[in-house]
Chains A and B, each alone.
Chain A
Amino acid sequence: MTTVADEGRPSGRAETMGVWFAVKETLRKPQFWFGFTMILPLLIWYWIFSFGPIIQAFRMSTVAYKLLDPGNSPFVGLGNFIKISQHPLFWVSVKNTILWAVYSFVFHLPLAMLIAVCLSKVKRGRNVYQALIFVPVVVSLVAVSLLFKMLMDPEVGQLNKLFSSVGLPELQWLSSSSSALPTAVVIATWKGLGFFVVILTAGMLNIPSELYDAGLVDGTNPWQQFWLITMPLMSHTILLVTVLLAIGSLQEFTLPTVLFGSEGGPGNSTFLYNLLVYQEAFLDIRFGTATAASLFQFAFILTISILQIKLLRPSWTY
């Protein structure tokens, strides 16, 4: 093992001197000791709090976990996976989670793109607008959930008061099983939009202005500019945003829990997959089936991430 800080300089000397000499040489280097004392805690910490639990999760998913005597938990093979897929709310939660992800995509992306285009074109006050549109992102999600639960109260909420004063029908918002899920995603969108706006705006400002200049010479109108220059060059960033949205939606927990409690909303309409895992693990104390359920989720997210990496190789350059 050689610890050489100056990359680019040939380190051929070490190879000709034999292994022992190389080790001795390495141990004398201050870089080695600095690197070693820094990497060691990293390895220990990651082993205890990250890799260890991941490996343990795989093991735990194959046993009927005994809380008081974990060493003697009987091996059940794929039993936990079968058991969780037969849970009465398993498919409900899968359907809700996919719906959540789809709504999330539909609500977030077009609006975030529109705002990002406007931000990238506006000449004055871009940073101020961006900072203010970003405010909901930094505010505690629990506070946001309570805030919208107040605003959306069907009887006394301000939104229905506003609607009735301009002649629109009053809505049930979070209280009916048909509108609870989309309404919850609207809240999630309001909360998360600023994050994606910032990413998309940064991507758009990164497109060299020469391309737009060339477009203007060719006589493009703003509509063509958007579809022929901005969109193709933004495909990378848009894909990133899509994947972040998908992964985020699949792991949604706080918002539905605070809005509806861990029961899953009217008619289980907002019972998401992570609520199932949480309920299984910490309310019903079935650790084996809970980890099995979480591994399904892991497989799904892994597939998406691999697809992203495969798709993310851009076929063009500026």
Chain B
Amino acid sequence: MAVIGKTGPARRQPPRRIDISQSILQIFLLGMVVVAIFPFIWMVFASLKPFKELVESRQLLPETWTLRNYDEILGRVNFYAAFRNSIVSAVSVTVVSVYTSSVMGYIFSKYRFAGKEVLFTIVLSTMMVPFAVIMVPLYITIANSFGLADDLGGIIVTGFYTAFGIFLMRQFMESIPFELIDAARIDGASEWRIFFTLVLPMSMSPMSALAVFVFLVNWDSFLWPLIVLSSQDKQTLPLVLAGLRNLWWTRYEMWAAGSMLTVAPVMLIYSIASRYFIRGIAMTGLKA
């Protein structure tokens, strides 16, 4: 029986009809979920099959379960180094840019100073510039002025600020009442203290959405690391993973194992934080 509840009599329809259309919706959405998830499930099992079985069998589950693929790939390719590089770069970019986004979001929403709107517009307008435009000059800057060519630092410093993050945090901080901040000022709190003990704790929800977003974007980042990082031991996971194509042409069980190693940490984070992430995306869609 459909719940009608508070929406009033206007919503009332013959309950039976609602049940049928609801089950059609359920079946359709379930189908979509299967389409979205099934390839990964296949990949999990593919990484546990020997090569011969992978290319010949139509079964989803392996007949002979084996961890040799992982053994071989970890022996031949330095996944540990790639993993460490990815963690170091993605985590440092996330921590710094979530902090800078929050500070700038706070200042752009709660402070008044000459040129604020102009500055904000300029910062936002950099989002419209395609990365292809700045990749060459940026590489020259990184390489010549900072000596960070083929250095993890080169992909870290360029991520310290994100226009998107500043925009997102400003949108949220608009909703923090001025009275609250003024009250803290009257109580004698310093600006630093107001920001760290009042504003930041109130912003945990958009901050976690932004953090998950920034982390995943950087974890997945391909073009910029491809330009900056050239030596094997400095490369991040996506580069190493893409390199499997050339190392093992059509050794699909290796591809599957390598992909699993790349995807697993992301899946772990997503399974914990999916709610924040989706809320963050939905929020930008509504406010843009």
Kindly identify, within residues 123 to 144 of chain B, every residue whose CB is under 8 Å from any CB belonging to chain A. 123, 126, 128-138, 140-141
Q: How far is the CB of B133 from chain A (nearest CB, A)?
A: 4
A158 & B2 in contact (Cβ 8 Å cutoff): no
The reply to whether the CB of B83 lies closer than 8 angstroms to some CB of chain A is no
Q: Which of B3, B25, B278 contacts A121 (CB 8 A)?
A: B25
A266 located at the interface, meaning its Cβ lies under 8 Å from any Cβ of chain B in the complex: no
A298 and B241 contacting across the interface, CB-CB below 8 Å:
no
In the complex, B202 has a CB within 8 A of chain A: no
In the complex, which residues of chain A have a beta carbon less than 8 angstroms from the beta carbon of B36? 132-133, 135-136, 190, 193-194
| Residue in chain B with minimal CB distance to A29 | B191
Q: Which of A4, A148, A281 contacts B39 (CB 8 A)?
A: A148
In the bound complex, do residue A216 and residue B242 qualify as a contact, i.e. CB atoms below 8 Å apart? no
Nearest chain-A residue to B33 (Cβ)?
Answer: A132
B85 CB to closest chain A CB (Å) equals: 14
Interface residues of A in 296-317 (CB under 8 A from B): 297-298, 301-302, 305
In the bound complex, do residue B278 and residue A278 qualify as a contact, i.e. CB atoms below 8 Å apart? no
Give, as a whole number of angstroms, the nearest-CB distance from B288 to chain A.
Answer: 6
Contact A150 B46 (CB under 8 A): yes
Instruction: Give the docked Cα–Cα distance between A169 and B15 (Å).
Output: 44
Is residue B274 within 8 Å, beta carbon to beta carbon, of the partner chain?
Answer: yes
Decide: A53 and B137 in contact? CB cutoff 8 A. yes
Q: Is the CB of B7 within 8 A of A146?
A: no
Comparing A37-45, A86-94, A172-180, A225-233, the segment that makes contact with chain B is A37-45
B76 within 8 A of A: no
* Residue B270 is within 8 A (CB to CB) of chain A in the complex: yes
Cα–Cα, bound, A148→B111 (Å): 49
Q: Is the interface of B mostly helix, strand, loop or mixed?
A: helix
Contact indicator B286/A53 (Cβ below 8 Å): no
Q: Mark A139-150, 1 if CB is under 8 A from B, else 0.
A: 111110111111
Query: In this assembly, does B164 line the interface, its C-beta being within 8 Å of a C-beta of chain A?
Result: no
Inter-subunit contact A146/B245 (CB<8 Å): yes
- A49-B141, A51-B126 known; A118-B28 Cβ under 8 A: yes
* Chain A positions within 8 Å of B22 at CB level: 122-124
Give Cα A288 to B146, complex, Å: 22
Residue contact A45 to B241, C-beta cutoff 8 Å: no
CB neighbours of B242 from chain A (8 A): 142, 145-146, 257-258
**CB-based nearest B residue for A59:** B137
Q: A7-B178, A147-B259, A253-B222 are in contact. Are A49 and B285 (CB under 8 A)?
A: no
Other-chain contact of B263, A56, A134, A143, A301 (Cβ < 8 Å): A143
Instruction: Sample 19 A-B pairs with CB under 8 A, ordered by A number.
Output: A31-B111, A31-B191, A42-B161, A118-B25, A130-B278, A133-B32, A139-B267, A142-B222, A148-B39, A153-B252, A156-B55, A158-B42, A190-B35, A190-B39, A193-B36, A247-B130, A287-B136, A290-B136, A294-B132
- The interface of chain B, by Cβ under 8 A from chain A, is 2-3, 7-8, 10-11, 21-22, 25-26, 28-30, 32-33, 35-37, 39-40, 42-43, 46, 54-56, 58, 100, 103-104, 107, 110-114, 119, 122-123, 126, 128-138, 140-141, 145, 157-158, 160-161, 178, 181-182, 185, 190-192, 195, 216, 219-220, 222-223, 227, 237-238, 241-242, 244-245, 250, 252, 255-256, 258-259, 262-263, 266-267, 270, 274-275, 277-278, 281-286, 288
